[in-house]
Amino acid sequence: MKPIYILNGPNLNRLGKREPEIYGTTTLTEVEAMCREVAGDRPIEFRQTNSEERLIDWVHEAIDEGAGIIINPAAFTFTSLALLDALKMFKGPIIEFHISNVHRRESIYHRSYVSMTATTVMAGLGAKGYPLAVRALESLIADERR
């Protein structure tokens, strides 16, 4: 069974301490555990980086190995054409995930490049939305959605 890739961008390593009024107090380690529990037999590659280059390299790995992608690109959502170009190459379903409702925040967070290729967007469910995204991705994989 091919793995799903759950990829997290810059500053998410500080989840739980970072602006808890926006992102909550759940840590990324706790998020990973929740995702693995929901995934059952499905292998998960759960990763975080502050590097755009590394994030793109992981998308390239997913292109060759992955069944689906859940990506929280964080600030790269709104800045990276390189990340958009990499995600366009992925043939499986892509869920763009944001902990906060980016559309209710400052306008700098309103225009996502990633949304131009994502299968669906989940935003505002909080960190506990990640396991829901795993369930949603399994459904998209089963339906062979892109």
Which residues have a catalytic role annotated? 23, 98
Residue 74 binds to ligand DHK (criterion: CB under 6 A): yes
SS3 43: coil
Distance, CA of 127 to CA of 4 (rounded, Å): 18
Select from 4, 62, 102, 133 the one that contacts ligand DHK (CB under 6 A). Answer: 102
132 near ligand DHK, judged by CB under 6 A: no
Nearest residue (beta carbon) to ligand DHK: 74
The site that binds ligand DHK (CB under 6 A) totals a number of residues, namely 9
Contact 131, 35 (CB under 8 A): yes
Complex with ligand DHK: residue 26 or 43, whichever CB lies closer: 26
100 binds ligand DHK (CB under 6 A): yes
- Residue 102's closest CA among 88, 122, 119? 122
Displacement of CA 2 from its chain's centroid (Å): 17
Nearer to ligand DHK, 63 or 82 (CB): 82
Classify residue 63 as exposed, middle or buried by CB count within 10 Å of its CB (0-12, 13-18, 19+). Answer: middle
Which spans of this chain sit near ligand DHK (rule: CB under 6 A)? 11, 72, 74-75, 98-100, 102, 109
